[in-house]
Each structure stands twice: as C-alpha cells, then as structure tokens.
Amino acid sequence: MAKIKAKWVKSAIGFSERQKRTIKALGFKKLQSEVVHDDTPQIRGMIDHVRHLVKWTVEE
C-alpha cells in the first residue's frame, strides 16, 4: 500500500479549533514535524481539510 508523507509547515494559530484537532489527529507534535500514514480516503480527507497548513507527498 502506498504511504503519504506529510509535513506541518504553517502554524494553526488563528484557525478553527476543528483544524487544530485535525492536525493533532494526524499525529503532528510540533511545527515542521513529519508523519507517515497509509494512503486511505480517511487520511486524504483529513489532509485536504488542513491543506493550507501542510505539505504532502505520496510514496510508493
């Protein structure tokens, strides 16, 4: 299964509490941290919800 590698690049200060909770649910601990997840529709949806705060790539 493909993996998604995401990096948190912009602070969540000033954004909604829901977006802050999504960042935490993805597993980010601090700004500039990276996480790797399986490429599933649920993870894609979470990343899409905070797409303005993260950068991501698909790894085979």
**pLDDT(10) > 90:** yes
Split into its structural domains, the chain has a count of 1
Residue 42 is part of which domain span? 3-59
**16 or 60, greater pLDDT:** 16
CATH number at residue 23: 3.30.1390.20
Give the residue from 45, 57, 55 showing the smallest Cα distance to 10: 55
Q: Is the pLDDT of residue 60 over 90?
A: no
Mean pLDDT of 35-44: 97
Q: Residue 40 contacts by C-beta under 8 Å, 6 or more apart in sequence? A: none
Instruction: Name the strands in the sheet holding 3-8, side by side, starting at the edge strand that comes first in the sequence.
Output: 34-38, 3-8, 54-59
Given a contact cutoff of 8 angstroms between Cβ atoms, the answer to whether 35 and 28 are in contact is yes
Rounded mean pLDDT, 16-26: 98
Model pTM above 0.85: yes
Q: Are strands 54-59 and 3-8 parallel, antiparallel or unpaired?
A: antiparallel
